[in-house]
Amino acid sequence: MINEVLTDAESRMAKAVDALQRDLATVRTGRATPTLLDRVVVDYYGAPTPINQMANVSVPEPRLLVIQPWDKGTIGSIEKAIQKSDIGLTPTSDGIVIRLAIPALTEERRKQMVKQVHGFVEEAKVALRNVRRDSMGQVKEMVGEKMISEDDQRRADQRIDELTKKFVEELEKVGKAKEHEVLEV
């Protein structure tokens, strides 16, 4: 039973790391990447729709994103959604495609991006701590129901702590890598 709790905790902690990596992919570095637009949602006939589900997003040059909507009538709403988003890019349109020029990051903007990266890492750490708390609560319930001994509880709590420490280190490693990527000139 303890192994089930540990397996569940490990699975949930791995998902927190995956979620952090997805979130960090949307942080702008100096290069164009279609994942920059993953969090941008367009009001498409009343339904919030991600850009990648209503247009083709390509990277013809290292500092240029080209968005080619499948429905030409959505160009205006895609432009508005990009302007409202926090990615800090201004779209230009010729009526057929939308171009997003990625300017070189200023030192001030790099520092803002690093703060954003730290925020994402901290959110992921909170998720890990929640998983840890839930897992320890499940083990404590097992002791209360006389399913396991208190010695087993201490060993399980220790293993949960080790698992949490391992995943916190992994989160920090992922965060440091993204921070290095953002600060790279």
**For the segment 2-33, what is each residue's pLDDT rounded down to a tens digit?**
889 899 999 999 999 999 998 888 776 767 77
Domain C-terminal end among 57, 80, 101: 101
Residue 146 phi/psi, 5-degree rounding, is 60, 30
CATH number at residue 64: 3.30.1360.40
CATH number at residue 143: 1.10.132.20
Structure tokens at 121: 């890492």
Q: How far apart are the first and last CA of the chain?
A: 51
Model confidence band, residue 137 (pLDDT cutoffs 50, 70, 90): very high
Residues 162 and 115 in one domain: yes
pTM (2 d.p.) = 0.71
Residues 111 and 179 in one domain: yes
Residues 164 and 121 in one domain: yes
Enter the DSSP assignment of 42. E
Q: Which domain holds residue 159?
A: 2-25+106-183
CA-nearest of 104, 100, 86 to 184 is 104
Number of domains, the chain: 2
Q: For residues 41-60, b (16+ Cβ closer than 10 Å) or e, as one string?
A: bbebeeeebebeebbebebe
Spatial CB neighbours of 16, under 8 Å, sequence gap ≥ 6: 124, 127, 128, 131, 167, 171
Which tens digit of pLDDT belongs to each residue from 38-60?
A: 888 888 888 888 888 888 988 88
Residues 150 and 111 in one domain: yes
